[in-house]
Structure 1
Amino acid sequence: MSVARNTLVQSSLTLASRILGMVRDILLIAKIGAGPIGDAWATAQQFPNLFRRIFAEGAFASAFVPTYARTLEAEGAEAARDVAQEALRVLFAATAALTIVAQIFMPWVLLLIHGGQADDPESYGLAVLLTRITMPYLTFMAIAALLSGVLNSAERFVLSAGVPTLLNLCLIPAAFVAPDAEGTALAAAMAYFVAGLLQAGALWWGVNRQKVRLSLIGWPRLTPAVKKVLKLAIPGTIAASGTQINIIVSQSLASFEVGAKSWLYAADRLYQLPLGLVGVAVGVAILPRLSRAARASDDGSSRQTMDEGIGLAMALTLPAAAALMIAPVFLIDAFFTRGEFLPSDAAMSGSALFHFAWGVPAFVLIKVLAPAFFAREDTKTPMRYALVSVVINTVLGAGLFFWMKSNGGAGFIGLAIATSVAAWMNTALLAMTLLARGWYTPGPRLVSGVVRAALATAIMSAAVWFMLQNLPEIRAELWDSRIASAAAIVFAGGVIYAFAALLTGAIRISDIRQALRR
């Protein structure tokens, strides 16, 4: 399959999951609101969201797929199955042990990510309880990640892209279980456990359908093949998770400002949309092709794949980032202001979303550039750059946070700024290293395509700005509904961008036809 076709499969199923995710967040944020309980709920989601984005969204698979695919091609299906089974047992044992240890020491673990509210026993105790309930999601996601890697190696993307929907299908009913904020948060935490079990089970069924028979029964062994997988997987997972680690750091600092975690969480739900729909999808789609090209020393195919991936990512990401920068408060207010989440909360969250928005292209490019290293089994270089970005984010974020607070401002805005700066630095380091090593040089068609996409984005941005200037008239025609007005403007912006992209040549009909053809 082509990069665009694989990406379309990934993005279509991810879009369905993200739409359900928006419904989930609209309901839960309205019930829980911003404040001590909302901050406790945001804290309880930090570990599950980190594990989901590390494992389910391709970071672990990015390290596992090249080794598994190489074994499959060189030694056959049985040898590859053995590698997968031994790796699965080791991964299960390690994550289960980590989960048990975390359950015991959770009150002290949370001092690292929720320490700012440790002096409030009621709120802190709730955060500890909720996080203990959600923590087993780690083990389920580890199993799901490896199973997804097996499926993706065979270019079977449908199930691995579709199972995240189960999380939203479990969380949505949780919004209706209890009448109060605390009861809703408890029900939602329990839903995480159920969802993890269902996701791992569905992928296990899918792998069995591919006639890859795996078993968790047996003592975990660090065989040479497993050691090789772990040698690549551990730094590779860290490398592909730099953005998520930076989010954890920012959320930890935000605990010193009551409500800030809730505001950052609402902003996170919107700017993560293009990252999940585009960045993760493109990264997962190009990795198998890059791995094959690297094994065959086919530099031409590798460059063409990277050009396609980056071009597609930027054509879809630039308009999304521009829209988030033009109308951050409007979008937050339209989707989340109801119930316990107030207009004042939307204003605070929107101010963070603006600064996350200009980092969105970098967040996506990291997901597209890193596979070029993973395909060559170099996971340490991206890991080092990810850790550099974490240091930048921590130092700059802490400095801005406390400086802005000391001057009477909202410190959490500095955390959003630092996260985007760190992402751009990570992107620059990855790109410059690929150029220096001769592993990738952008072709003239890619450069031209990005310029055309930027021009089409400018046209769309002007149209969206005009619509916002005439928002009262638009709302009057749409039953004075905030969410209907937002949906209409987003849809109109998308249509305008599509026409502008065709007009400028950023997207060509012939390319679409060729991309969708096997």
Structure 2
Amino acid sequence: MAKSEDGQKVGSADVKPPAGLLRSSALVGMMTMLSRFLGLARDVVFARFIGAEAGADAFFVAFKIPNFLRRLFAEGAFAQAFVPVLSEYRSKGSVEAVRGLLDRVAGCLGLTLIMLTGLAMLGAPVLTAVFAPGFLDDPIRFPLAADMIRITFPYLLLISMTGFAGAILNSYDRFAIPAFTPVLLNVVLISSAVLAAPYFDPPVMALAWGVLAAGVIQLLFQLPFLMRIGLMPSPKVDWKDDGVKRILALMAPAIFGVSVSQINLLLDTVLASFLPTGSVSWLYYSDRLSELPLGVFAIAIATVILPGLSRQHASEDPEKFARTLDWAVKLVLLIALPAAVALVILAQPILTTLFQYGKTSPADIAMSALSLKAYALGLVAFMLIKVLAPGYFARQDMKTPVKIGVIAMISNMLLNLIFVMPFYFLWNIGHVGLALATSVSAFINMGLLWRGLVKQGVYRSILPWGKTILQLMVANVSMAAVLLWLMAQFTGWSVWGWDERVMALAVICVAGLAVYGLALLLTGVRPKDIRGVR
């Protein structure tokens, strides 16, 4: 049996079990938090150098298309289909079987992505017309977006192979490296905006080349860690391989099941392209902030529980499976509810502190704040979707999530029409209607996922939920009262310098967090209550 450099056996069930779920989630969360904070720094730089003008709209579309597909091919549908199959091979097969699976998946995935990338680069104007039809009559945004898509689209190939490598590392409980890798994207894009942009015409084109460079760097960064555990793939194309066929069969419906929220966000971009200039950027900045708790906490928890749930299902341990899901739901609620309340109350101060510099005006901030509040209303649902979906994927049940995903997606389309028209014609804030429709459809998605797990007998309440809900209500109401009171004490955000803004925001956030934590303690919540299943 092969061994990695740290002495653990590779490709079998004898690998040392992971630490508690809370510890692993905290590790992934810390790495992801570093990436997200650098992502915010990146967006601050974007706001200063490109603002919400035509070039910014064109870049965000060109970046969002491969980034959206990345969430399907990398950490989305592919990962949710690949990890359970790899976990089964790891639990029941030999190291040779594991390596054979990795070789063939690498070959088939790589070939598919190469072909898709080539077609996309050739058809960049068509992609622009499909994903941003409102740009068609714009002599600046349409050709610029098409040119940048040709540069950014190969990022899909590079980052998807990076996601493949990360899925292998996660399956062997090496969570830190895949979680740290996105930091490199933000470092490269910040460097591109600050150092390279002056040498390009238009300057925003430097960001497109930065995306491509970041893809190369992220992939190369992970390869040594695969070599360290002896699982560096040697790509082989074999579509008839049993493991490849199983992953493909699971992946097709998973595209809808895991990525419906991303599809909804992409639909927002399509519709926003018809709205006034700046709408795409306003949604981008607000979506980025709403994704901070989603990425740092919910995705971290989902990343950690999926391999464990897959192993628990393979070993036929339904009690531990249910306990793991119940723990994940409780932990998400402890984080998501205060995050949503804080974002609604502090939307404008946060956006002002981060983005109101250079080319980004107070009017842009006001518009972004409105859509941020709408996204924040759905934050609990967005985060719960991330931890409920693995309850299906770990059992290799992809049909149920796809049905739910289709319902949620159709609901989002209908809600877009219902909300956008009155928001646009009555108040000229159509982008807020888009964000609100996405939030409502997320609750539909989450509710159906929850009901399905309960109906199948997979998820059942183990924790004392009546007491937990009461504790959460007291803590969140207490925190909201403190935040509102402090907001009344701090005025003049738009005229303050960045240091004054940061200091005031820090005081408000620390005070709110302290009150929330104290309220939880006073109502009986203890650290032992949120430790993960071992």
Settle same-fold status: TM greater than 0.5: yes
Give the equivalent residue in structure 2 for 1:410: 429
| Equivalent of 1:20 in 32, 38, 47 | 38
Report the more deviating stretch, 115-124 or 443-452: 443-452
Structure 1 residue 185: deviation in Å?
A: 1.8
Query: Which amino acid letter does the alignment assign opposite residue 347 of structure 1?
Result: A
Secondary structure of 2:132's counterpart equals helix
Q: Distance in 1 between matches of 2:61 and 2:168?
A: 32
Aligned residue in 2 for 1:394: 413
C-alpha displacement at 1:482, in angstroms? 2.0
Greater alpha carbon shift after TM alignment, 239-248 vs 450-459: 450-459
Q: 2:55 matched to which residue of 1? A: 37
Distance of 1:492 and 1:55 partners within structure 2: 41
Asked if 1:85 corresponds to 2:69, the answer is: no
Q: Which runs of 5+ in 2 are unaligned?
A: 1-18
Report the residue type matching 1:422 in the other structure: S
Give, in angstroms, the shift of residue 72 of structure 1. Answer: 1.6
- Is the Cα contact below 8 Å between 2:62 and 2:145 reproduced in 1? yes
Matched residue type, 1:107? P
Aligned partners of 2:290 and 2:376 also within 8 Å: yes
Candidates 65, 76, 91, aligned match of 1:73: 91
What TM-score comes out, normalization by structure 2 length?
0.92
**Fraction of identical pairs, as percent:** 34
Aligned to 2:457: 438
Give the Cα separation in 1 of the matches to 2:498 and 2:355.
18
Cα distance in structure 1, aligned partners of 2:43 and 2:131: 22
Cα pair 2:80 2:390 within 8 Å, conserved: yes
Aligned to 1:441, the other structure's residue is in SS state coil
Q: What corresponds to 1:302 in structure 2? A: 321
Name the residue aligned to 1:112.
130
How far has the Cα of 1:59 moved from its partner? 4.7
Shift of 1:280: 0.5
User: How big is the shift at 1:48?
Assistant: 3.5
1:209 aligns with 2:241: no
Distance 1:81 1:305 in 2: 29
How many residues end up aligned between the 2 structures?
514
Q: Does 1:238 align with 2:256?
A: yes
Classify 1:473/1:254 alpha carbon distance in 2 versus 1 (closer, same or farther; 3 Å).
Answer: closer
Equivalents in 2 of 1:404, 1:327: separation in Å? 22
For the 8 Å contact 2:374–2:436, the answer to whether it is kept is yes
Unaligned runs of 5+ in 1: none
- Of Structure 1 and Structure 2, the greater helix share is in 1
Deviation at 1:473, TM superposition (A): 9.2
Is the alpha carbon distance of 1:473 and 1:146 closer, same or farther for their aligned partners in structure 2, counting shifts above 3 Å?
Answer: closer
Asked if residue 423 in structure 1 is aligned to residue 442 in structure 2, the reply is yes
Tell me the secondary structure at the aligned position of residue 97 of structure 2: helix
Deviation per CA, 1:480-508, whole angstroms, max 9, x where unpaired?
722332233223322222222222234x1
SS, match of residue 52 in structure 2: coil
Q: Are 2:147 and 1:129 aligned?
A: yes
Q: Go from structure 1 to structure 2 and tell me whether the alpha carbon gap of 1:58 and 1:159 turns closer, same or farther (over 3 Å shift).
A: farther
Distance 1:97 1:90 in 2: 11
Residue aligning to 1:2: 20
Query: How big is the shift at 1:47?
Result: 1.9
- In the alignment, the residues of structure 1 paired with residue 59 and residue 26 of structure 2 have an alpha-carbon distance, to the nearest angstrom, of 33
Shift of the 316–221 alpha-carbon distance from structure 1 to 2, 3 Å rule, reads same
What is the RMSD of the two structures over their aligned residues, measured on CA atoms? Answer: 2.2
Secondary structure of the 1:394 match is helix
Give SS of 2:395's match: coil
Q: Is contact 1:171-1:191 (8 Å) kept?
A: yes
* Alignment check: 8 A CA contact 2:74 2:161 kept: no
**TM-score, normalising length: structure 1:** 0.94
Deviating more after overlay: 140-149 vs 449-458:
449-458
1:487 alignment counterpart: 506
The answer for the alignment partner of 2:68 in structure 1 is 50
> Does 2:359 match 1:340?
yes
Provide closer, same or farther for how the CA distance between residues 58 and 154 of structure 1 changes in structure 2, counting only shifts above 3 A.
farther
CA 1:476–1:467 in 2, change beyond 3 Å: closer, same or farther?
farther
1:475 deviates by: 11
2:341·2:476 contact (CA, 8 Å) conserved in 1?
A: yes
